[in-house]
Structure formats: structure tokens, C-alpha cells
Amino acid sequence: MSDRFVIRRVPAGAGEIGIAPLPGRGGDLAADLRAIADFAPAFVISCTEAAEMGCARALPAGLAAAGIGWRRFPIADFGVPSERTAQAWPALQAEALAVLAGGGRVLAHCHGGRGRSGMVALALLMALGQAEPFAHLRRHHPQAVETEAQRLWAEGVNEG
């Protein structure tokens, strides 16, 4: 597995969702922060748990210095949001959808830039009414969403 920091771009309504691995994971947080600043998201959604953030402890300060917001949405690796974390989803989703509707960008990251961040992107695509959202996501990031539970969470979070 490569530690190269790559932002996968997924068209989302009038905007764009970026999916990335943990900034700093490859040993150069400053370079990864520059790549994030070049992508220019309104905010970054960190889907990693606190214990995974060792190489990225300076991420919130680095994002703030670049004028980029930071939102925590911690999820266990290969998992789905806990009941407590899921309570934050409606407000986080509303904020992301407003950015995307205005033609802006949001970036979601997890450790590898596939499962948890892909799940968040899929949930946003579902909320936007994207035609064939899973296929659309996979066209832009073939490894996005690693487990069936993640896919089911994203597809069901806005139901009911």
C-alpha cells in the first residue's frame, strides 16, 4: 500500500467531494496540508479515531492557518458511526450539502482514504439525489466504501 497522499475528486451536485488518506501518514504533513489547501475545501471531515491521529496531531492548526474548517466524525476502522457519532451526522451533512450546493468542496479523510471517508461521500451523494450514487462514487474512486455495513449505513442514514 502506498503512503502517497492523493485526493480523489468526486463530483457532487454543483460541488465536489474529496476523499483522502490521513494527512501526514506518509511522513510529510506540511506537503499534505499544501495539497489540501490547493484542493480548497470549505472544511475537512476527519473520520479517524483519536488514537489514529498521531502523525496528524497538528492537522487542526494547519487547516485553521489555511482558512479551512475541521470537523470530527470519528469512526472505528472498517466500521460505521457509533450511535453517539451518528447523532452529529444531520448537522454535519446539512453543512456539507450547503457547501456543495454553492459549488464548493468538502474533503473527507480516514486512515487509508477508502472505507470511512468513502462511506461519508456516499451518504452525501445519496442526500444530493445523485443518480446511481454507489456506481458514481466507484467511477471516481474504485476502492471507496470497504464493507457492506458501510454501504448500508450510507444508503440508510437519511431514510425514515
pLDDT in tens, 64-100: 999 999 999 999 999 999 999 999 999 999 999 999 9
Reply yes or no on domain 8-155 having CATH 3.90.190.10: yes
pLDDT at 23 over 60: yes
| pLDDT above 90 as % of the chain | 93
State yes or no: pLDDT of 141 exceeds 90: yes
Can you spell out the DSSP letters for 37-71? HHH--SEEEE-S-GGG-GGGTTHHHHHHHTT-EEE
β-bridge mates for residue 11, sequence order: 16
Confidence of residue 2 (pLDDT cuts 50, 70, 90): very low
Q: Tell me, what's the pLDDT at 159?
A: 80
Specify whether the CB–CB gap between 79 and 149 falls below 8 A.
yes
Query: What pLDDT is attached to residue 160?
Result: 60
Domain ranges, ordered by start, for the chain: 8-155
